[in-house]
Structures are given as structure tokens and as C-alpha cells.
Amino acid sequence: MLDRCAALVGAAATSEGTQRRRRILGVSGAPGAGKTTVVLAVLAAAAVDPRLAGRVAHVPMDGYHLPNAELDRLGRRDRKGAPDTFDVEAYAATLATARSLPRAALRAPSFDHAVGEPAPDTIEVPKDADLVLTEGNYLLLPDGGWPTVRAQLDEVWFCDLGDEQRRSRLIERHVLSGRQADDAAAWVHRSDEANARLVVTGRHEADVVLVDGRVFEGSATP
């Protein structure tokens, strides 16, 4: 997978004084399928790869959760994580800015899991970054404003995983974040699974499908 990243970086790298636009790689998949695990593994490997070191940035979709006060106003707090609980326009705009020329350093929000809120301007995309990794459930969703996000992505990887293993991971994650086990299981089966059913409809649109971090469909090279 590093070869795919290197090809994207190569397409974005400046040459003979000519600046080329950054490339954007999206990693999609259902909740608990391993998106963040894949991205963090790629970032760690890229940091010691001479082709990629210092040239890859990371802007997760999680930072574009609507604030809890806004979710309360809209009556969507009990569905937090659903497609309409994100600021899709702001997310797409950030990715569009990352692609634009002339390049500029930009800032993006992260998500503070301790308080369950987005944290504005806490991520920096350096001017010299040639590739931006972004992960989120809905990168391949065909409606609700999400096609504007897909339009910014040069390539999309889809993380897939068996439902039983994926749900088990999700429940464990919710418990570690402070939920009681029964409440965690109820949330997964009510909310996360409803979102997962939407997400998997876009699987066939991905450039590569990964199962537990390994290439399942598509080529390991561009």
C-alpha cells in the first residue's frame, strides 16, 4: 500500500519549479472495520520511508462532527455519527483547499473523544505535504452532500471486516470510552449498525478493498 501512496506523492511532487496540487487519499468503511488502524499504520510506515517521510498529512473526518449543541438543536443527538450529523460542506471545503493551487498551509479540526466534541484548528497540513490521508464512514455515500467529498478524493480504499468481529470491536471501543457494556451493545446494534448498512453500499466504488488491513480486491500497486 505504500507503493500506492508513493505514486500519489510522485504525482503531486514539485518538479523543476512547477508546483503540483496535493493528492488526497480516502479510507472508508463501516464503523469498526479498521479505517483508523490502517491510516495510522500507513502514517507510521510513511514516516520512515524515504519516498514519503515528511510528505504525508492526516485530516480525519471525525473533526467534522457537528457540535453537541447543534445536534441537540436539530434533534439528532441520539443519532450522533449518522451521515447528517457531520458538517459535510466544511469537510469538502477543507479537502478542496488542500487540493488547490497555489498551495498553502491550512488547519483542520480534530475530534476530542474525551469530551465528545470537535476541536477547531488543531490539525495542520504543512505547505510541503504532497499527500493528505483522510478516513471516514461516508466517503462513498451517493447522497446527502457526500458526493462533494468524493469529488476531492484521488483514490479511495475500503476497509471491510466480518460483521461479528466488527461489532465486537465497536462494543469494546465504546466500553473503553466509558459506556456500560449493555449500553455499548445497544448503541452498536441500534446506531452503528444502521450506519454500517449505508456504508457498505459504496464498497464497489472503491479502488481497493482491504480486509483486516490486507488487500482483498484491487491491485497492491496503482
What CATH number has the domain bearing residue 90? 3.40.50.300
User: What mean pLDDT, rounded, does the chain reach?
Assistant: 89
- Domain membership of residue 62 (yes or no) is yes
Q: What are phi and psi of 135, to 5 degrees?
A: -125, 145
Backbone angle region of 141, left / alpha / beta, with phi > 0 → left and psi within -120 to 50 → alpha: beta
**Cell 493551487, residue located:** 101
Residue 1 near residue 52, CB atoms below 8 Å: no
* 187 band by pLDDT with thresholds 50, 70 and 90: low
State the greatest distance between any 2 C-alpha atoms of the chain, in Å, as a whole number. Answer: 60
Helix 2-12 with 35-46: angle, nearest 10 deg? 70
**Structure confidence at residue 170 (pLDDT):** 74
Residue 222 covered by a domain: no
In a domain, 157, yes or no: yes
Domain assignment present for 86: yes
pLDDT in tens, 77-117: 988 989 999 999 999 999 999 999 999 999 999 999 888 89
Residue 222 has pLDDT above 60, yes or no: no
Give one DSSP letter per residue of the chain, joined into a string: -HHHHHHHHHHHS-BTTB--PPEEEEEEESTTSSHHHHHHHHHHHHTT-TTTTT-EEE--GGGGBPPHHHHHHHT-GGGTTSGGGB-HHHHHHHHHHHH-SS---EEEEEEETTTTEEEEEEEEE-TT--EEEEE-TTTT-SSTTTHHHHTT-SEEEEEE--HHHHHHHHHHHHHHTT--HHHHHHHIIIIIHHHHHHHGGGGGG-SEEEETTEEEES-S--
Q: What pLDDT is recorded for position 39?
A: 95
CB 47 within 8 A of CB 177: no
Containing domain of residue 162, as a range? 2-215
Distance CA 118, CA 166 (A): 25
The number of domains in the chain is 1
How is residue 41 written as a grid cell?
A: 499504520
Q: Which of 69, 72, 63 is nearest to 94 (CA)?
A: 63
Residue 186 lies in a domain: yes
* Residue 220 forms part of a structural domain: no
What's the pTM?
Answer: 0.88
